[in-house]
Amino acid sequence: MSVDEPGHAHSLSTERARQLALEQGFAEAGLVALPYAEEAQDATRYAQWVQVGRAGSMHYLTRTAEDGQLVRSRVGIPFPWARSVIVCFAGYHCAQPRSTDAAAPTAGWIARYAWSSRADIAGARRPSDYHKVLLKRMRALEERLHGELGEFESRAYVDTGPVVERALATAAGLGWTGKNTCLIHPKLGSYGFLAVLVTSLEAQAVPAQLPVTDRCGSCRRCLDACPTGALIAPYQMDATRCISYLTIEHKGPIAVELMEGMGRQVFGCDICQDVCPWNRKAPVSADEELVARAELVNPALEWLAQMDMSTFEQTFNGSPVRRAGFMGLRRNVAIAMGNTGVRLFARWLHPWAEAADEGLRTAARWALERLDVQAVPTENQ
Ligand code: B12
Ligand code: SF4
Ligand code: SF4
């Protein structure tokens, strides 16, 4: 079927967009015609979220255009030429345990999305990062469309573009916004990445896809399970309390009152998705470029603690975990150690309690106190 049907020069149908996305290896895809019906409501929600300080130090979320509007609140602000967005979903669910399953008391937790690997030319497993893996697919999709339709404006993004991907995914009919704020696909669940291609193509006037209705019902498992109270109300997150933000995005010392709730999470957090019933039935993803690395599932805290800068680089080069940084990961490990009740960890925590890095020092001192082991006194104490 041709994309460019008579009377629809430079236009695109949902079916064709979806077909091309699936050919690139995505599990699902949809098309949004701009402006979409809920755009004003989403823009208001976004502005309110930013206004009350929920974005913390993620300043890229609060950037404004010359007229004062938040750049991300509507696709048309950064991209005045945009007429449609192709939204793609790539699953990363796997058979490995959940963060909420029983585990060794000395094990930490790295979020599922960061476990990924792919085979290199020699067949060896190398860490992979969904940003790179999926951007390559989006660029191939973009190229196919340009081959078929010629000149038009387009921008492909995975996570880092100035758009609210979950709002677009909902508008594309890929799922609903759960009370945990994740995009939940009715069959694939929420363990999925989103990728977008913003285009100047008119979306063809096919009957609009039906929005997926909210299927959370009376459930509130995610709200009850969130250990730091980041889900302040259904569908509302205070990112500054979210373990994912604290362990990945936030640099420096973490507020002491949040440390206990962080439990054993050393990079990201899966709790509000691991308790979600819609992820119980979700199929395991067969994506060859997003295969779980066994060593990152329930990693021993001691293994992470003994890493020096060079082993950190070797282990996490090409992996999303690198974003936390060497000191950031070590800080998170210190907090997780404090939450284990395993006093033997004091041998790592004592030297860290004297570290020059304030984030690590604060975390290690708190952990020692929590393990009820006396911290080595310093001139500051
Ligand atoms: C900043 C950010 C974070 C922040 C803040 C998260 C947040 N809830 O806002 C932190 C660091 C905490 C974070 C954590 C995670 N993130 Co993140 N993150 C982003 C990023 C870059 C921007 C999100 C954003 O704009 N937030 C602002 C709020 C207001 O937007 P929103 O939550 O998306 O809400 C919109 C809609 O949901 C809707 N909406 C809001 N309220 C309501 C209420 C109702 C009733 C309804 C119907 C709709 C609705 O309108 C909002 C505004 O338009 C996106 C990528 C992107 N460019 O969009 C990835 C993204 C959202 N993250 C992703 C992932 C995978 C994660 C983690 C699972 C990682 C992990 N395991 O640690 C956790 C999940 C935590 C959670 N429960 O959301 C995926 C989500 C995939 C999915 N299936 O939902 C994305 C899309 C990245 C990607 N390309 O795949 N993330
Ligand atoms: S990712 Fe963790 S900390 Fe963040 S909202 Fe979900 S359960 Fe709470
Ligand atoms: S745990 Fe329950 S309330 Fe939370 S997102 Fe899943 S279905 Fe919705």
Give the pLDDT confidence of 274-311 residue by residue, as tens digits: 999 999 989 999 899 999 999 999 999 999 999 999 99
Segment 176-208, tens digit of pLDDT: 999 999 999 999 999 999 999 999 999 986 555
pLDDT digits (tens, 9 = 90+) for 122-181: 988 899 999 999 999 999 999 999 999 999 999 999 999 999 999 999 999 999 999 999
Contact residues of ligand 2, CB 6 A cut-off: 180, 226, 228, 230-231, 237, 242-244, 269, 271-272
Which ligand minimizes its atom distance to the CA of 85? Answer: 1
For the CA of 222, the nearest atom of ligand 1: 77
Reported as a pLDDT band with limits 50, 70 and 90, residue 10 is: confident
Nearest-atom number in ligand 1 for the CA of 190 is 83
Q: Is 100 in the pocket of ligand 3 (CB under 6 A)?
A: no
159 given a catalytic annotation: yes
pLDDT at 9: 52
Residue 274 CA, ligand 3 centroid: distance in Å: 10
Beta strands, E only, 276-333: 291-292
Alpha-carbon span 114 to 268, nearest angstrom = 8
Question: By alpha-carbon position, which residue is closest to atom 38 of ligand 1?
Answer: 167
**CA–centroid distance for 355 within its chain:** 30
Question: Domain boundaries in the chain?
Answer: 11-98+118-203
Residue 374 has a pLDDT of 55
Please give the model's pTM, rounded to 2 decimal places: 0.95
Closest Cα to atom 5, ligand 3: which residue?
Answer: 178
Edge-to-edge strands, sheet with 291-292? 125-127, 116-119, 291-292
